[in-house]
A and B are shown apart, each in its own frame.
Chain A
């Protein structure tokens, strides 16, 4: 059917760019991860698996994986859960549903770096609005809560600069930023659940709302959930803006917020240690690709109900 060779003119540029911009870098990262390359050096010294064994043994990288997984395993369940919760609530209420939707979606639109700076300000230990608001609650019934009484007596946490709170605070901002996105995807999923299914479930004896959710809504949202979970994983693995804004050097108190993207940035760009940066890149890519492959497998395997 192709009358001309036009198609190669059409596909060619995209093909070329795909190879050069997306595939070649993976190969380069793979190669460099076995070297001690740094920019400006004429040749790269081959070190075999040294970089990888460093990643697996040194405490810095142990902290890196710790911080990354802590972040990811807080942000993913919470942003998916809150996204679903918000979607169910909004879907079931008729008044103001568009207003809530708009508000919850705002953080998705706003530049995260700007909002990170604002959050840092809001969480400032003394002049921040968060601790000031908490102080207002002192002397009320809230003091019956041990943590709160402790805060009133000895000062509330310094959040971003406290090594026990830092990673959770950064994760909270991640949830704040991301759950509106998941909510919108769930809302789209909810509108596509056929109403007849609820009738059918009721006839089959699904009396309570929980039964309807368990038997109809949740299974029908299966494909949405698989997608939402995957994209939340990938997005939260890539966290960088907030970490760099709060901790331009070193990855937070006791390196407790030293996430992978920041580690790549610090090692490779700031310190010109390309070898180790490349090795972290390879590990990172492996994680992300594995997740997406699992997602596709799930999509093909078991979530097709409709």
Chain B
């Protein structure tokens, strides 16, 4: 495999490969890549397809990708004593409306936005000034603080969930937004990243700002922040993706109070009481929860890949 893998990355054989319209190596490569792509896409296919189909089509595995979209009888609606004719529903509409009706999905999505946005906002508020001080100010203890940042990079927050949970419980903060946000308020990675970035900003720029009589505080927000927008954007993607998708931490601190559920918790709850009829709506819920980031990713791929792999810059 390696043999054909590299044959065209080496200059001499690239020239040779160009001469052929059809090359066995190239075809094999694509065969392997397509096979991999099929496996990768399989669950996405299942998810979207089932979110479009009727329960019967899901059970019997008929209807292709889109399903026949024939109206079927909503048994629950019949049970409520309504006329059977009124209870005929189109699968795709049934699945997506049920997703929103059966659980307060809009509320979950809103919670997800509130939590991810607050986390990012607070992270920047805390990390940016610290990064600036570490990069551009000289003061006693700076090396020690930076050493501490490097040490804290070793600690995965999920791993210390238990003591954090106890601390929050002692403060009576479980089942609040605060519990969802506080543990993530400090991003040592953000500090590290921003510091590295600020190191590259010329001192002259800051000196000039000081000459103009700007305070250190306004230097951070009016001079440093605008220069750091690309790094900040990458960090935003990193942070939002991690916390929108996070399941472990919300699972621990939010117990029972549905009005505080984030999207992953809502979906999990849905799964808990799903029966045969509800697989369609459940897949619709999954699609709705996964869609925002996937769509954003497809639109701004380069930025996303940069942001997610930021941790690779260390």
Please tell me if B152 contacts chain A, counting CB pairs below 8 Å: yes
Name the distance in Å between B143's Cβ and chain A's nearest Cβ.
12
Q: Name the segment of A59-67, A108-116, A162-170 touching the other chain.
A: A108-116
Please tell me if A134 contacts chain B, counting CB pairs below 8 Å: no
Q: Which of A89, A105, A127 contacts B29 (CB 8 A)?
A: A89
Residues of A within 8 A of B160 (CB): 22, 25-26, 29, 281, 285
The 8 lowest CB-CB distance pairs between A and B, nearest first, are A25-B163, A10-B129, A14-B130, A17-B186, A209-B6, A28-B163, A10-B133, A6-B216
Residues of A within 8 A of B (CB): 1-2, 4, 6-11, 13-15, 17-18, 21-26, 28-29, 32, 39, 82, 85-86, 88-96, 98, 100-115, 117-119, 121-122, 127, 129, 132, 176, 180-181, 184-185, 188, 195, 198-199, 202, 208-210, 212-213, 217, 224, 227, 231, 234, 238, 240-241, 244-245, 248, 261, 264-265, 268-269, 274, 277-278, 281, 284-285, 288-289, 292-293
Distance A9 CA – B289 CA, assembled complex (angstroms): 39
Is there an interface contact between B252 and A109, defined as CB atoms closer than 8 Å?
A: no
Interface of B is mostly: helix
Residues of B within 8 A of A (CB): 1-13, 26, 29-30, 32-33, 36-37, 39-44, 46-47, 50, 58-59, 61, 126-127, 129-130, 132-134, 137-139, 142, 145, 148-149, 152-167, 169, 182-183, 185-186, 188, 191, 215-217, 220, 241, 244-245, 247-248, 251-252, 263-264, 267-268, 271-272, 279, 282-283, 286, 289-290, 293-294, 297-298, 301, 304-305, 308-309, 311-312, 314
Residues of B within 8 A of A185 (CB): 309, 312
Name the distance in Å between A260's Cβ and chain B's nearest Cβ.
9
Chain A minimum-CB-distance residue to B51 = A118
Name the distance in Å between B192's Cβ and chain A's nearest Cβ.
11
Is there an interface contact between B130 and A11, defined as CB atoms closer than 8 Å?
A: yes
Is there an interface contact between A121 and B290, defined as CB atoms closer than 8 Å?
A: no
